[in-house]
Amino acid sequence: MWLKDENLLDIVTAVSGSGPAYVFWLIEQLAPLPSRREFRRPTRCGLRSNACSLGQARGGERRGAGQLRKNVTSKGGTTEAALDVYRTGKARAALP
């Protein structure tokens, strides 16, 4: 991707660089919801997989979204800062 304006680089980094961690965090938040309603495992996995990028969701199911999120989150970086906002802010309360 070529950017004509270098000032847009922060936005690109936030989305493409930090995006996977956001998705893995979301999978973590969604994980217990279907199981509370006693869906079978294939149905639970399908619900979460369809809510996210299929590749990331499947990786999160197999390897654990929490660990994958940690793997792509730099300590003290922008992704960690954004996830802290999600954890402490209204974003978490907005999830079902």
Provide the residue range defining the domain that includes 25: 16-94
CA distances from 5 to 8, 9, 12, 15, 53 (A): 6, 8, 11, 16, 28
Q: How many domains is the chain partitioned into structurally?
A: 1
Q: What are the tens digits of pLDDT across the range 23-74?
A: 788 777 777 766 656 777 777 777 776 767 667 667 777 777 788 888 888 8
Query: What pLDDT score was predicted for residue 30?
Result: 73
Residue 76 is predicted with a pLDDT of 92
* Token pair recorded at residue 49: 């997989």
Answer yes or no: is 46 within a domain.
yes
Residue 25 within a domain: yes
Q: Is 48 inside any structural domain?
A: yes
**50 within domain boundaries:** yes
Is 85 a domain residue?
yes
What's the whole-number mean pLDDT along residues 83-89? 80
In a domain? residue 67? yes
Residue 76 in domain? yes
**Amino acid 22: pLDDT:** 79
50/92: higher pLDDT: 50
